Structure formats: C-alpha cells, structure tokens
Amino acid sequence: MSEVFADLVGQDDAVEVLRRAAESARRLLAAGDAPAGEGGGMTHAWIFTGPPGSGRSVAARAFAAALQCARGTGCGDCPACRTTLGGTHADVRLVVPEGLSISVGEMRALVLRAASTPSGGRWQVVIIEDADRLTEAAGNALLKAIEEPAPRTVFMLCTPSTHPDDISVTIRSRCRVVSLRQPSAEAVATVLTRRDGIDPQTAAWAAAAAQGHVGRARRLARDPQARARRDAVLALPRKLTGVGAAFDAAAALIEAAEAEAAASVLESDAAEKAALQTALGGGGTGRGAAGALRGAAGQIKDLEKRQKSRATRAQRDALDRALVDLAAFYRDVLASAMGAPVAPVHADTAELAAGAARKWGPEGTLRRLEAILECRTAINANVKPRIAVESMMLALWKG
C-alpha cells in the first residue's frame, strides 16, 4: 500500500482504485499536456462518499498527495507528499465550510483560482469537504467548472452519499464515485495502537464506542473530557423519570453541545481576531492608527459573523455526535431485547442496556430509537435544536 494511503483504514478496494488512477495520471504527465478527463483510470472530477468516520477527506487528501508526488507513487516522503498531507501545498486547495453552507461567492472565487496553471507543473487540485453543504447557486457554479475543466485541474468532492439531497444529480453524473465503507472496530483499534501508541485494550474500547469513526475513537482514547461528555450522554436514559426531568435532560444536552463547540472554536476565533486587528493597525501608536482601526469596524463585524456561523455548525456537529451515542445505547437495548448475537457498541453500559431491555421490550425500545432518528432528521431540516431535543426527550420518557 502506498504510504500516503496508510491512514485510510479498512478501505483496500478504494485504495486500489486510487492507486491505479494516480499511475494513470503519472502516464498522462509523461505523455504531455493531456486533459485530466482522458487516460483510463484518471478523470478530472471525483466524489468520495461514505458514512461519518469512513475517511472521505482522508482519502481525498491522500489521492491529492499521490497526484502531486514527485515519484508519481504517493511515497509519503517527498516534499510534495508531505506538504499536500500537511495542507500547505501551493497547488492543493482544501475547502472546509465554516458555516452551515458553502456560498456561491466562495465557490466562484475557488473556481477562478482552480483554472490557473499548477505552479509545480503537475495538477491543480481542489478538495471540497462536506460538499453536501453547497447552496444551489454554489453547486451551479461548480457544475460549470466541472463541465469545462482546465487541462490540469482535478476536483474532489466529499459527501455522505450520492443521493440528490447530498449532491445534485448533474454534478454526480460528471464525476467518478469512490465509495468508502465504515471500517471495522478491529481495523480502527489496530491503527490506534500502531500509529498513536494507544494500548490495545483502550484502543479496542474506543474503536467500538466510536462505531468505526477513526477520529472520534482517537479522541475518546486520548481525551478525558471527550470520555466524560460521552458518559454524561449515556447517563441520560436513567434520568428520564418525568416531564420535568425530560426538559432538564434536554437542556443539559444542548448546553453540553454548546460548551463543547465553544471550546473547539475558542482558540481559532481569538487568533483570527488578533491577526485581523494587527493587520488593520491594532496596537499601533502612529498618527492615524486609531482612526484606521475604527474604520475597519465593518471587517471585524464580517469576521464575527463568520465565526458565529462556524460556532453554530460546531454546535450542530457536537449535538449530532451526542445523538449518535444515545442511539447506539438504544440499539444495544434492542439487540439485548431481541437476543441478537452481536457485540454491544457501548460495552461499559451493557448491564444497563440489558436491564432496560427487560423493562421496555423490543417495541418500546424501537419507538425510542426512532425518536432519536427523528430528532436528527428534524435538526437537519433546520428545526431549532432545543425544540427537537425536548420533543425527543419526552418521547424517550413516554416510550
């Protein structure tokens, strides 16, 4: 396996496809300035799909590194591989939406830059994480670029699926799809032990609890606060003793998500604001410095608006992780109630799940599990999270 693909866990079939495409791209470069859409396995537009934690963006970055590799193999050792994986390669543009959507203005600027000639002489690569967040207008701008690509430009889109709700049918029809699967807990645990030095027992527990999500498994194994937040979520079913308790549980879940999100963006927000103020003359003592800073109030306001949007997205993501953990608990209850011969996701609450199974039975458990899934759907449809979570908690209490 090429070194750049070493962190792509449990995706042997996808890695083989990408290795062949990288070899095809190398031959194209050797033959001359041929369009990216020609040459067998290589094409100018790709979609990486798969469940959360399957490694969509990891696969895209690794493939970009293989395309830029000086040896054409994705060796992982050359400067092109290292800078691509590190996010500093001049010809690789990574787009990570800071808010709940990717605007048309942002996409037009990106398309304009993508049409330029690669400075390194190989490929101009654009990676769009969470491409399902493209607005309709942004999607149309991207579609035009994909339909009329520059000779050395490659687009890589990361989406949960190829469903029209995630990516438009017209964009999908012009891209090659690489489908990733959820890696097994055993594969994730092996990576945590080999790469991160985590002891096998902790790695196995974290991999199972994270349900195949490599990044989350690493956080659970290394971050005591992440484990504490998970424990608090899994304690909620025991606290649902009445209407008041249900509302208290909803408030606690929302506040925990807000606190986690605030902590995750605090450092970057402060650094961005300090950098902007410095660029605008903040701290200067010369004549006009104070006036220049006052005149820059609009730019600071724009930054605060972007940061607020990013914080909202971080809150939604933190809340969704909590809901996934909660759903996994009720899945364990259902498996116990049905006598299914499967291992629990949350081994440390298996006893509690077995007790709940005897009390609720399969039907009551399934209703509760559906309430959590309906809550996630409602939040994705822009129902206010607090309202959706309160409704869910009442349904969990009632059964």
Residue among 184, 182, 180 nearest 46 (CA): 180
**pLDDT over threshold 70, residue 2:** no
User: Taking the domains of the chain in order of start, what are their residue ranges?
Assistant: 3-179, 243-279+298-398
Instruction: Say if CB 127 and CB 89 are below 8 A apart.
Output: no
pLDDT in tens, 32-68: 655 544 445 789 999 999 887 788 999 999 999 999 9
Q: Distance between CA 226 and CA 217 in Å, rounded?
A: 10
From 112-121, 196-205, 375-384, the region with the lowest mean pLDDT:
112-121
Instruction: Say if CB 22 and CB 118 are below 8 A apart.
Output: no
Instruction: Say if CB 39 and CB 27 are below 8 A apart.
Output: yes
Best-predicted range by mean pLDDT (96-105, 111-120, 200-209) = 200-209
pLDDT in tens, 253-283: 998 888 877 776 666 656 666 666 666 665 5
Q: Distance between CA 284 and CA 281 in Å, rounded?
A: 5
367 exposure class (CB count in 10 Å sphere: 0-12, 13-18, 19+): middle
At 338 the pLDDT is 93
From 27-36, 108-117, 341-350, 359-368, the region with the lowest mean pLDDT:
27-36
CB neighbour list of residue 212: distance below 8 Å, 6 or more residues apart? 51, 53, 54, 182, 183, 184, 185, 188
Torsion sign over Cα 349, 354, 359, 363? positive
pLDDT in tens, 180-208: 988 888 888 988 998 889 999 999 999 88
CB neighbour list of residue 175: distance below 8 Å, 6 or more residues apart? 43, 45, 46, 47, 146, 155, 157
**pLDDT over threshold 70, residue 138:** yes
Instruction: Say if CB 318 and CB 261 are below 8 A apart.
Output: yes
**pLDDT over threshold 80, residue 363:** yes
pLDDT in tens, 234-259: 999 999 999 999 999 999 999 888 88
| Beta strands across the sheet bearing 124-128 | 92-95, 124-128, 153-159, 45-49, 176-179
**pLDDT classification of 355: cutoffs 50, 70, 90:** very high
At 46 the pLDDT is 95
Radius of gyration of the chain (CA): 24
If you ran DSSP here, which 8-state letter would residue 183 be given?
Answer: P
Instruction: Say if CB 142 and CB 111 are below 8 A apart.
Output: yes
Q: Which amino acid is present at 382?
A: N
pLDDT over 90, % of the chain:
42
**pLDDT classification of 210: cutoffs 50, 70, 90:** confident
At 83 the pLDDT is 93
Domain 3-179 architecture: 3-Layer(aba) Sandwich (3.40)
Bridge-partner residues for 45, per DSSP?
155
From 75-79, 293-297, 306-310, the region with the lowest mean pLDDT:
293-297
Q: Distance between CA 397 and CA 381 in Å, rounded?
A: 24
